[in-house]
Amino acid sequence: MTQTTTKYIFVTGGVSSSLGKGIIAASLAKLLQAQGYRVTIQKLDPYINIDPGTLNPYEHGECYVTDDGAETDLDLGHYERFLNVPTSQANNVTTGRIYQSVIDKERRGVFLGKTVQVIPHITDEIKERIKLLGLSGEYDIVITEIGGTVGDIESLPYVEAVRQLKWEMGNDNALAIHLTLIPYLSAAGELKTKPTQHSVKTLMESGVQADILVCRTEHELGQSIRTKLARFCNVKEECVIQSIDASTIYDVPNLMLEEQLDRVVLKQLNLERHQPDLTSWNTFLHKHKNPTHEVTIGLVGKYVELQDSYKSILEAFTHAGAANEVKVVVKSIHSEHLTPENTSKLLSGLNGVLVAPGFGERGIEGKIEAIRYVRENNIPFFGICLGMQMAVIEFARTVLGLSDANSSEMNASTKNPVIDLMEDQKQIEHMGGTMRLGAWRCALSSPSIANDAYQKESIEERHRHRYEYNNLYKTQLEEKGMIATGINPDTGLVEIIEIPNHPWFLGVQYHPEYKSTVANPHPLFKAFIEAALKQKTSI
Ligand code: GLN
């Protein structure tokens, strides 16, 4: 069903942030993909950072990393989890990157003495980035999600670019979906359409007529509200789509199918509609909703109070749980609250512990304490990035007796930097995009937990860190029982550590969570949940 021209769908948001544009975009993409269309999604972020790599999780949630090493918005994680298609640098564009590129061109004399302005130079750059994915010929449909809310000063150049593209491409090649909120006023007992009328009007002031309204709501919309919205907002009644709160984000594609979002989209774009094949998606959903067992996993980190900080890890648990038909209850444990005195109490009853990635010193002693406890008490342990580094430090301190063992990130003058900066990282002064990023190869040794889980000798996983396992300590660590079972074949860097003399103890320098999708639950998460279930049934 390959298209000759790529069709574009723009998704804007109104009334409020956090309405879930990413989930709506991913759900629509899923429905189109399930009919045979080749779809990708792009996120345009109106902030001035070049990428979210320099933003802390309090600001912007998790930073998601692609195979080609882009540090991106967490919505790209949703796209990959829903579509099972990798995204890349081109799928996330920020205002910072747009301006950087325009300013570079200006310095190179590309604009030939012209005054460089928001319109046309910034908007042209935005349009170019939007069209780039289509030009690759790999996609029939590109969904472009505009971050922020219409009416924001930052969003204006993006909305203007959408206006121009809609005009240039014509109605059957480009359409605009506006995601909005229909609040329920409990005092009046009514759903209210006025905020939506205003946000559609704001969009129109910039020359963009929404073709489809997707309305987030806590209550069923009802016919009269749909009619009213259609009339006031200049859309067809069939184009008023209800998006009612769901118990899981993975319900949204089916909800959008019921509302026939795919049908109205394909109709306007003049594309054929087929019955979407959601068989494997629905098998996953069925398993997710009908678990036969339950395990409780402790997630030890310093951002545990924030829902979005460990998004990919939590979703990877959902995928792995469904694969095992196990409900995974995640108990958040703040690493700063863990002390030698309270750790056994706070971790008691857990069937497994995952120590999260992170940066900087805050909370690391709590992470080390948690690792000591699970190592000594045979509780399954999964360490990711900083979590793996802390496992090496804990082992070096407790088992090798190197009491000052540390990472040079936390203590630059430690005598025993079991985790250290690589030579090529020592010269780096700039913060953005300079870590070890993206997919790197890793050879697995056998027998090992990793080899058992992946059923492969060689894997590729995504990285985002500066510090590394220090190979000077490898012999000592291995002699005492912490084995390196995954090595980068090109650099010799240790990527995986395990303790064979423990039911399930594994740390990875990379981020497996980024590659877990509904169609492909991550093998290590699956194996970890299996081990947690074993732990539970053995006590
Ligand atoms: N702070 C550590 C490093 O830079 C770990 C990073 C992470 O957990 N992503 O190496």
Ligand 1 centroid to residue 59 C-alpha, Å: 18
Cβ count near 292 (within 10 Å): 10
Residues of the chain with pLDDT under 70: 1-4, 306, 428-429, 431
Ligand 1 atom at minimum distance from 359 CA: 1
Backbone phi, then psi, for 110, in 5-degree steps?
Answer: -65, -30
What's the half-sphere exposure (Cβ side, CA atoms, 13 Å) at 269?
A: 29
511 is catalytic: yes
* Cross-strand partners of 382: 354, 506
* φ, ψ dihedrals at 301, nearest 5°: -160, 175
The number of residues making up the chain comes to 539
Q: What is the pLDDT of residue 303?
A: 80
Helix axes 386-398, 364-376, angle to 10 degrees: 70
Q: Which atom of ligand 1 is nearest to the CA of 385?
A: 8
**Cα separation of 128 and 77, whole Å?**
23
385 is catalytic: yes
SS (H, E, C) 329-356: EEEEEEHHHCCCCCHHHHHCCCCEEEEC
- Residue 408 CB–ligand 1 contact under 6 Å: no
Report the nearest-CA residue for atom 3 of ligand 1. Answer: 465
The answer to whether 519 and 313 are in contact (CB under 8 A) is no
For the chain, how long is the longest CA-to-CA vector? 76
State the catalytic residue, choosing from 288, 502, 511, 522. 511
Planar angle of CA 95, 101, 106, nearest 5 degrees? 125
Distance 358 CA to ligand 1 centre (A): 5
**Cα–Cα distance, 345 to 322 (Å, whole number):** 29
Between the CA of 25 and the centroid of ligand 1 the distance, in Å, is 31
Query: For 24-77, what is each residue's pLDDT tens digit?
Result: 999 999 999 999 999 999 999 999 988 888 887 777 789 999 999 999 999 999
Q: Is 513 a catalytic residue?
A: yes
Cβ of 80 less than 6 Å from ligand 1: no
Distance 333 CA to ligand 1 centre (A): 19
Q: Is residue 465 lining ligand 1, measured as CB closer than 6 Å?
A: yes
Catalytic residue, from 385, 461, 463, 465: name it: 385
What's the pLDDT at 2? 46
**Closest C-alpha to ligand 1, atom 6:** 465
Tokens 């002699």 identify what position? Answer: 479
The whole-number pLDDT of residue 410 equals 94
Cβ 273 under 6 angstroms from ligand 1: no
Q: Whose CA is nearest to atom 8 of ligand 1?
A: 357
Could you tell which of 464, 468, 494 is best to mutate to test the pocket of ligand 1, judged by most ligand atoms within 8 Å of the CB? 464
| Tokens representing residue 212 in the block | 């489809």
